[in-house]
Chain A
Amino acid sequence: MAKLHFSLVAPERELFAGEVDSVDAPGAEGDFGVMAGHEPFMTTLRAGVVTVKSGSSVTVYEIQGGFADVTQTSFTLLAEHAKAATV
């Protein structure tokens, strides 16, 4: 399966950058999931949980508002505040 390049960037630092299978994020108009080959779109985000799935590993981040930029091969998430959350 094609991989998606996901990067999670907070103002202070880059929290995550790498190839993943899918990402779930809380969009302003509803949660959405992104996999490789997604239609390009941009949206603002509300506070919530970002779930990053890669193979069998799942990483979860808490974000407080932000912005998502999705292209066919990559997903850039600019978060206001972000931190790794425990599942």
Chain B
Amino acid sequence: MASLKEMRNRIGSVKSTQKITKALQMVAAAKLRRAQEAAQAARPYADRMASVIANLAASVSGPGAPVLLAGTGRDHKHLITVAVGDSGLAGAINSSVVRAARDRAQELIAQGKEVRFICVGKKSFAPFRRLFGDKVIATFDLSKSKVLTLDTAEPIATRILEAFAAGEADVVTLFYSKFKNVVSQVPTAKQLIPAIVSDAAGAAVTPDLKGGVYSYEPDEAAILETLLPRNLRVQILSALLENKAGFYASQMSAMDNATRNAGDLILALTKQYNRSRQAQITKELIEIISGAEAL
């Protein structure tokens, strides 16, 4: 049985832990709102972009189509981009994305494919370096960038395009956690190259030409050529924004749970402490009384 002083210390330490988790929860809740707004504000752009590309893709298909859209025709080399958060204390959100990407990678390796990785977010560095070593070709730390803009996504997209141009990748897939709502974030794989055009809800976008015949300036292929790299950036940005919103949502609920658990623990410990204190007082009383009777 722990001494009373030890128990007092224990209760004190749990109390301060609870204060920390409570504070983290409130910070996450405040940040979640902003992250959610940012994710929503970015949606119109991504959706419009997707529908424009779907329109164009419908008119530029066949052998002349750009490789970013049609792919290289092989699927031997895979580039997996993993996007997770930069800090922990957020429940399983980071690890579930890491696990999804790892499982996919191992599956591909078992099929004899070549797999390389780009890690975005600190929490993905260690697991992939440990498992796949020098197959990780680039890492991006986003903890310094408070606001996610197209400039944040730019270096990641550039690196992916470099790898693609260098023939290091035939298929590029992005793993991130989709922000479904505050209580549910789904680890999701999105294929970036060859482009599968889909809107924010994940449904495939069908071309909507509205019966109009478009004229293009310059021609379709040239527009597509500039639009596809841009689309890559936009896709990455929207994934990062969803990730961020999901991260705070997950952190909020994780910290809420932690606060509640700390509360339960404090109650249990306090009860135990009071019992043993009472037991000690009773014991001392009995000693005094029996001592007095003996005289």
Give the interface of A toward B (CB within 8 A): 7, 9-14, 27-29, 39-44, 67, 69, 71-72, 76, 78, 80-81
Contact = CB atoms under 8 A, between A and B. Distances in A.
Interface in B179-232: 210, 212-218, 222-223, 226-227, 230
Interface in B34-72: 38, 41-42, 44-45, 48-49, 52, 55-56
Contacts of B214: 40-42
Given A12-B42, A78-B52, A42 B150 contact: no
Interface residues of B, number: 28
Given A42-B217, A44-B218, A44-B226, A9 B44 contact: yes
B150 A76 contact: no
23 contacts: A7-B44, A11-B234, A12-B45, A13-B42, A14-B45, A28-B217, A28-B218, A39-B215, A40-B210, A40-B213, A41-B215, A42-B56, A42-B214, A42-B215, A42-B217, A43-B217, A44-B227, A67-B52, A67-B223, A78-B49, A78-B52, A80-B150, A80-B230
B270 interface: no
A69 B52 contact: yes
A84 to B, nearest CB: 16
B interface, over-half SS: helix
A24 B143 CA distance: 40
Contacts of A7: 44
A83 B227 CA distance: 21
B105 interface: no
Contacts, number: 76
B16 to A, nearest CB: 39
Given A12-B42, A43-B223, A27 B217 contact: yes
A43 to B, nearest CB: 4
B212 A72 contact: yes
Given A41-B214, A42-B217, 19 more contacts: A7-B44, A11-B42, A11-B149, A11-B237, A12-B38, A12-B41, A12-B150, A14-B41, A29-B217, A39-B215, A40-B213, A41-B216, A42-B215, A42-B216, A43-B216, A43-B223, A44-B217, A44-B218, A69-B52
B210 to A, nearest CB: 6
Contacts of A69: 48, 52
